[in-house]
């Protein structure tokens, strides 16, 4: 796919305290580039305060608005846990480390992207951010909160599929993947619990955990709980998710 100029696609980043650095897996950038986009990294430079009443700390909305003015599309990437304060819950013992600056920026980006109908692809944590940004909630920890849940956090190579996912027929996700069942990788212990009405569930794992979401009323708002950026080189159908994002970000027009 060739778009000229290539759409600029923002990739959110994780933050490490010691040594201090921002980072994201290069597989995201390669997938965006292979799909015809121009990837840029979005470090969470902002306040470290927890969210007051589920709102982004002061200043992050303006920062997010300035970022989105320079982007054509957005990938909300995987990473650490989302602070349950964003959906009105206290932390459970199994909650992992949280990053208020990243949470705040990504919530502001997701909410503004929704309002502006900017194309967004959410991956793993990104799916969870999209759920919470629109008023939903999460399982803070599947093993302790969902009896009967299968294993979802695997210590395997990133490109190894570990469980099947059923995709809803007629969904955009099914159209892009070209099949109703896929085998996926899995590296999460949080998951969508209460899904906002604006988002439709399009994929489930055998235990009923949400694996795919999309917003039919938006140009492209789609999320998966697995990591297609690690799988597309072995299974090219997974690159279709990034191609669809880039195409929507480019206005749906291919250059000659």
What is the torsional sign of CA 207, 148, 76, 118? positive
Catalytic position from the list 152, 163, 188, 227: 227
HSE, CB side, 13 Å, CA atoms: give it for residue 193.
15
What distance separates the 2 farthest-apart alpha carbons in the chain?
55
Q: CA 34 → CA 3, 92, 179, 187, 241, distances in Å?
A: 12, 40, 22, 23, 11
- Contact by Cβ (8 Å): 188, 205: no
Catalytic position from the list 106, 211, 214, 229: 229
Q: How many CB atoms neighbour CB 100 within 10 A?
A: 19
Which residue bears the tokens 């003015």?
69
**189 part of the active site:** no
Catalytic position from the list 124, 152, 163, 211: 124
How far is Cα of residue 188 from the mean position of the Cα atoms in its chain?
Answer: 12
> What is the rounded CA–CA span in Å between residue 234 and residue 227?
13
**227 part of the active site:** yes
- Contact by Cβ (8 Å): 214, 200: yes
**124 part of the active site:** yes
Catalytic residue IDs: 124, 227, 229
């Amino acid at each position: 796919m060739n778009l000229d100029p290539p759409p600029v696609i923002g990739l959110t980043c994780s933050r490490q305290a010691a040594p201090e650095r921002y980072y994201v897996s290069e597989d995201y950038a390669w997938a965006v580039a292979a799909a015809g986009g121009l990837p840029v990294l979005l470090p969470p430079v902002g306040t470290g305060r927890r969210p007051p009443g589920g709102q982004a700390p002061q200043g992050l909305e303006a920062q997010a608005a300035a970022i989105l003015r320079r982007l054509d599309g957005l990938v909300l990437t995987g990473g650490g846990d989302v602070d349950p304060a964003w959906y009105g819950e206290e932390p459970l013992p199994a909650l992992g480390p949280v990053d208020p600056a990243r949470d705040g920026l990504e919530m502001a980006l997701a909410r503004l992207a929704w309002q502006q109908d900017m194309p967004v692809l959410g991956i793993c944590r990104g799916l969870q951010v999209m759920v919470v940004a629109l008023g939903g909630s999460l399982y803070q920890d599947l093993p302790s909160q969902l009896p009967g849940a299968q294993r979802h956090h695997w210590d395997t190579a990133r490109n190894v599929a570990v469980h099947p996912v059923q995709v809803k027929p007629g969904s955009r996700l099914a159209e892009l993947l070209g099949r109703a069942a896929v085998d996926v990788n899995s590296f999460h212990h949080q998951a969508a619990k209460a899904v906002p009405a604006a988002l439709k569930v399009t994929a489930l794992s055998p235990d009923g955990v949400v694996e795919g979401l999309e917003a039919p009323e938006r140009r492209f708002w789609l999320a998966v709980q697995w990591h297609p950026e690690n799988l597309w080189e072995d299974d090219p159908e997974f690159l279709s998710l990034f191609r669809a994002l880039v195409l929507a970000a480019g206005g749906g027009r291919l250059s000659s």
